[in-house]
Chain A
Amino acid sequence: MQTFKLIVNDEQKEVSADPRTPLLWVLREDLKMTGTKYGCGIASCGACTVHLGGVPTRSCVVPISLVGNRPIMTIEAISNDPVGRVVQDAWVSEDVVQCGYCQSGQIMSAVALLKAMPKPSDNDIEDSMGGNLCRCATYVRIRQAIKTAARQLG
């Protein structure tokens, strides 16, 4: 076990964990932040996406030892972000969610997309969101919500 100091949603946290432990499990088990979901555990579904140093990151495959001093943002704080707030509102107005399990990761990826590319095309959305799977197949509504958010962000 080793002690790690983390910056999670602008708060200092300290955890004691095996260095090999994925960030996802530190968030969920040690910090009790269960908004970030476990989907596949091999980075193939995107449900566990958080922002690590501003980069959308699959927390299920990043050992805590490789996080370093990069700030972590999770779905719990995304509404504090101006783009994140708009994206969440668009998700509600477009009634995107069905079961909802993947949507934390979908929103984290959508926010990263819109921050880098304020007016994404359909192809841009498909390329960026292609790694986020939704078993309820809400893809059409996800695309619409991203476009709605893009319009509102102007």
Chain B
Amino acid sequence: MKRPGLTVFPAVLLLAVASVKTASLEQGSTPARAAPRSTSLGLAAWQEIYSVMSHPRCVNCHTASDYPQQGDERHRHLFNVVRGPEGKGVPALQCATCHQSANADSTGVPGAPGWHLAPLSINWQDANENILPSSAVCKTVSDPRKNGGMDGAALVRHHQTELVKWAWKPGFRNDGTARSVPPINYEQFMAATRTWVQAGMPCPE
């Protein structure tokens, strides 16, 4: 399967992405203005991030609907699961009714701390369950009015949560087969996130 975004960037660019210093981001600062070169690096980094966000392990819980999705084909979650007022299901059918704090590989149920749906304002799909294009997802992710009030540093921290990290260790289905993972590894994802934030979170047109 083709890896979205990877083939268009030369190796030197990936090295540049990985080498950006990030200490200030961890402490909550976001540069007010980015130089042109930084912007181009940021845009390249964003495409790396988008390749992850548009993967089923991530986008299945960033729906525009009243329910999550499952599987690489992104079917509606079985068992009549619904979103609920806080994205955690409804009283007798919560996410936690099945999903625990870790994968249950012996029974095939994935799990991580704080399992829940992203708010509707951070949807990465349209009402017909088509994944939104890179530019639209970027605008949503970078807009504090939609993303839950997160600035760049908060986005970096969000990407360091166990729930996000789960995408790279999603465990096994109940038939024993492994779930697929995003097209780049977690370290590359975090390097891209930091580069994008450092560049001022630029979005493609």
Question: Which residue in chain A gives the minimum CB-CB distance to B96?
Answer: A55
- Residue among B78, B93, B100, B109 with the most chain A CB within 10 A? B93
Which of B82, B93, B100, B109 is the one whose CB lies under 8 Å from A109?
A: B93
* B interface: dominant SS: loop
Instruction: Establish whether residues A22 and B98, one from each chain, have CB atoms under 8 Å apart when the complex forms.
Output: no
Q: Does B160 contact A (CB under 8 A)?
A: no
Instruction: Establish whether residues B93 and A127, one from each chain, have CB atoms under 8 Å apart when the complex forms.
Output: yes
* A interface: dominant SS: mixed
0/1 per residue, B68-92, Cβ < 8 Å to A?
0000000000111110100000111
From known contacts A44-B78, A61-B107, A109-B92, infer whether A66 and B97 are also in contact, taking CB-CB under 8 Å.
Answer: no
Instruction: Establish whether residues A129 and B98, one from each chain, have CB atoms under 8 Å apart when the complex forms.
Output: no
Q: Does A124 contact B (CB under 8 A)?
A: yes
Chain B residues near A57: list those with CB within 8 A: 96-98
C-alpha gap A127/B78 in the complex (Å): 13
What's the nearest-Cβ distance from chain B to residue A39, in Å? 12
What's the nearest-Cβ distance from chain B to residue A117, in Å? 5
Instruction: Establish whether residues B79 and A56, one from each chain, have CB atoms under 8 Å apart when the complex forms.
Output: no
Interface size on A, residues (CB 8 A): 31
Chain A residues near B185: list those with CB within 8 A: none
Instruction: Establish whether residues B101 and A112, one from each chain, have CB atoms under 8 Å apart when the complex forms.
Output: no
Residues of A at under 8 Å CB distance from B? 20-22, 41-44, 49, 55-58, 60-63, 66, 109-110, 112-113, 115-117, 124, 127-132
Instruction: Establish whether residues B97 and A55, one from each chain, have CB atoms under 8 Å apart when the complex forms.
Output: yes
C-alpha gap A43/B111 in the complex (Å): 14
Chain A residues near B84: list those with CB within 8 A: 127
Instruction: Establish whether residues B79 and A43, one from each chain, have CB atoms under 8 Å apart when the complex forms.
Output: yes
Q: Can you give 10 contacting A-B residue pairs, CB < 8 Å?
A: A49-B97, A57-B98, A60-B107, A62-B98, A62-B100, A62-B104, A62-B107, A63-B107, A66-B100, A127-B93
Instruction: Establish whether residues B94 and A56, one from each chain, have CB atoms under 8 Å apart when the complex forms.
Output: yes
Interface size class of B (residues with CB under 8 A): 20 to 34
Which of B90, B101, B104, B107 is the one whose CB lies under 8 Å from A128?
A: B90
From known contacts A20-B106, A130-B80, A131-B80, infer whether A58 and B98 are also in contact, taking CB-CB under 8 Å.
Answer: yes
Q: Which 10 A-B pairs have CB atoms at the shortest separation, nearest pair first? A: A130-B80, A20-B106, A116-B91, A128-B92, A109-B92, A61-B107, A113-B92, A66-B100, A131-B79, A112-B92
Instruction: Establish whether residues A113 and B100, one from each chain, have CB atoms under 8 Å apart when the complex forms.
Output: no
C-alpha gap A128/B97 in the complex (Å): 11
From known contacts A44-B78, A131-B80, infer whether A55 and B106 are also in contact, taking CB-CB under 8 Å.
Answer: no
